[in-house]
Amino acid sequence: MIFEHGVEGGNLSVISVGAAQWPDESLGCPEPGIFYESENAPYAGFIYVLSDRSDTWEYHTNEDDSVIVRCDEIEPFTGPKVNIAQAAGLRGSTGVTLMRRDFSTGQFEKIDPMTQDELIRLIDIFDRDIPLSDTINCETVFRLDFETPSGLQSIEWLCEEDKNLATGTQGFWIGMTGTVPVQVGDLVGPYLTGGQPPEPPGFRP
């Protein structure tokens, strides 16, 4: 990371090392739109300050130094964004149902209602500013139907050509396009155990 700045390793020295704690897994350096776990807070780690005698760099790590981040390397997002949980009134939801597209009919079919604990977690995941991106032509595979006091609010995600639930994927809500946090895939995965995601027309493995 630091060597991308053209710094020679022989010129580096450690100015300080200090223990630190953070309220979530971002280690104090959150990226825009990313959901970070906070269930096991506080998250312990260290702050390292390095110098080559002319510049200094501050790095944050977890306890075993397996995760290293530098806040100054996180690019702030200055474009349009949306907090879906707030805009859609998801905090008042009484239930959420997972839907999957039947590509033979083009219609969404119900897989299962999700639990109240999963509903709360989904709302927490979507309760953050998600950067908006350019709208793309996409026939989505999954949909979450939230039952809110103002009516059904649907969030679609995972384009037909993208089969990986383990990565952040394109999501859509009333014409807005953004990245769905990977934790949504983690929640949905158990509902698909024993089955295969639907294959869109023309799909070849």
Q: What is the mean predicted confidence (pLDDT) over 172-184?
A: 88
Please give the structure tokens belonging to residue 71: 């806040």
Cα separation values, 175 from 65, 122, 157, 181, 191, Å: 41, 20, 12, 18, 27
Q: What is the mean pLDDT of residues 2-10?
A: 59
Which residues belong to CATH 3.30.1490 in the chain? 81-192
Mean pLDDT of the chain: 86
Q: Spelled out in words, what is the top-level CATH class assigned to the domain 81-192? A: alpha beta
Confidence at residue 8, expressed as pLDDT on a 0 to 100 scale: 61
Compute the half-sphere exposure of residue 122: CA atoms within 13 Å on the CB side of its CA. 28
Tell whether the model's pLDDT for residue 17 goes beyond 50: yes
pLDDT digits (tens, 9 = 90+) for 100-112: 999 999 999 999 9
Closest CA to 81 of 31, 143, 151: 31
pTM: 0.77
> Is the Cβ–Cβ distance between 45 and 29 less than 8 Å?
no
